[in-house]
Structure 1
């Protein structure tokens, strides 16, 4: 998770408020009872992007429940409020079968579909924690590009690996983790090392969780992480490269493609509902 920050009185940069000295310049910090803000909330554009992603995921999940012919209320804690596979396939679940039958658009739509209440809850909680930190270091535009490209990369690798049916925002979220890992290694210094240590812990937890829990798309996670690292390297981060028009245009392109894909899925879902009511 991202931690609260405080502005260093010496260098003026945001640094981790848990430490007694600035991770950038080493200057002593005032007590944390002063003006403490979260790094991830320093960018209003970042909040708008993250909240928009969360809303899109929730709306798409609710639509999958509405058009589902069978909504699982039982099936264990992870199966609570699960839409059926037919509704997920219609809305854009991906994998070897959906990609070859419905098209490559499912590589995007699958990032906004979830298989149950806890599935979407965990993914959105992770996004809410990690996304603002990525926005703080890369900017809102680059964050959304990383999120979109990483999700596509994760599911593309899944298809190449032979995963037949998969959904969830975890591939894109893993891309944000990959971006932070790249940032920490590239940034270096005390702050970069602190970021690398924390993100390395997340990566280890992902590997262990994927090995222990059944049904986890490890190919999607791995592809998302690699996609996030590569995209972050290509785009750069704020300290080394300022926000440019190209970053904003790339984000706008990703947004337009995502909106078109999700609108297409909603249109298909509405057709199903109209057919059942007629």
Structure 2
């Protein structure tokens, strides 16, 4: 029991959020290192400090090409942790820092991570069905978190739920506008993540309906282990290919 309490005390919202952000940043830096002289530079903020496309595919980018050509189904998990430019990762991490704490407050730390991971995979799966050739980024998982908040705000009662619903509705409208105005936005991924988040919010439930239990913790730990393995393998392999 002491070990379990120590473990649970160590898994705090701030530590989980920081770990997710640091992992995204580290993988972005690694993708730049592996790209070498193939890094895309320039004054266009949408392309500044962009890793090479073949490096992103190697590290786990998803889409129709990786899955149909290489049967890289693991990319449904790994693509959620990769980014295509400096602006891309900064925008997504700032959004994550805003959205994730709200989800953790209503669903708990473990369910938040499960929603983030599984809804991200749902977004990339729908991207394949929508014939998106190549896609990466945390926005699918982020849309999943927004979807879970939308479900909470719509199905729960009270002032808090109403505020969450109004806020998330505004985010969804903003995402729709951005998706049509800006280039290279994966609207399929956003839609799949949003739908997945709503579904997972219903399936997993939030604190007002039930507290997190050992099954929630077990699912999150399992998904963490799978994610670490899938991300670590190409990184380790890449370092041997680049430096040895």
Same structural fold, with TM-score higher than 0.5 when normalized by the shorter chain: yes
Work out the CA distance in 2 between the residues paired with 1:203 and 1:262.
Answer: 29
Residue 128 of structure 1: SS of its match in structure 2?
helix
**Shift of residue 188, structure 1, vs aligned partner:** 2.4
Residue ranges of structure 1 left out of the alignment (5+ in a row)? 1-42
1:65 correspondence with 2:32: yes
Residue ranges of structure 2 left out of the alignment (5+ in a row)? 1-9
> Partner of 1:186 in structure 2?
155
> Partner of 1:91 in structure 2?
59
Work out the CA distance in 2 between the residues paired with 1:268 and 1:99.
Answer: 20
Work out the CA distance in 1 between the residues paired with 2:204 and 2:21.
Answer: 24
Task: Give the count of matched residue pairs.
Answer: 233
Larger radius of gyration between Structure 1 and Structure 2:
1
Work out the CA distance in 1 between the residues paired with 2:90 and 2:204.
Answer: 29
Give the one of 66, 70, 88 matched to 1:119.
88
Work out the CA distance in 1 between the residues paired with 2:24 and 2:148.
Answer: 21
Work out the CA distance in 2 between the residues paired with 1:190 and 1:232.
Answer: 19
The 8 Å contact of residues 172 and 224 in structure 1, kept in 2 or not, is answered as yes
The 8 Å contact of residues 148 and 172 in structure 1, kept in 2 or not, is answered as yes
**Shift of residue 73, structure 1, vs aligned partner:** 2.1
Give the alignment's TM-score, normalised by structure 2: 0.92
- The structure with more helix, counted as a fraction of residues: 2
> Partner of 1:135 in structure 2?
104
Work out the CA distance in 2 between the residues paired with 1:219 and 1:268.
Answer: 31
> Partner of 2:219 in structure 1?
250
**Shift of residue 271, structure 1, vs aligned partner:** 2.9
Residues 98-145 of structure 1, C-alpha deviation per residue, up to 9 Å, x if partnerless?
113151111111111101111000000000011011001100000000
1:221 correspondence with 2:175: no
Work out the CA distance in 2 between the residues paired with 1:218 and 1:67.
Answer: 28
Provide runs of 4+ in structure 1 moved above 4 Å: none
**Shift of residue 189, structure 1, vs aligned partner:** 2.5
Work out the CA distance in 2 between the residues paired with 1:188 and 1:218.
Answer: 30
Within 5 Å, give how 1:125-204 maps onto structure 2: 125-204=94-173
> Partner of 1:260 in structure 2?
229
Work out the CA distance in 2 between the residues paired with 1:266 and 1:99.
Answer: 19
Residues 44-93 of structure 1, C-alpha deviation per residue, up to 9 Å, x if partnerless?
62111111111110111001000104112215011111111011111011
Work out the CA distance in 2 between the residues paired with 1:269 and 1:158.
Answer: 26
Work out the CA distance in 1 between the residues paired with 2:160 and 2:11.
Answer: 23
> Partner of 1:50 in structure 2?
17
Work out the CA distance in 2 between the residues paired with 1:188 and 1:268.
Answer: 50
Work out the CA distance in 1 between the residues paired with 2:22 and 2:164.
Answer: 28
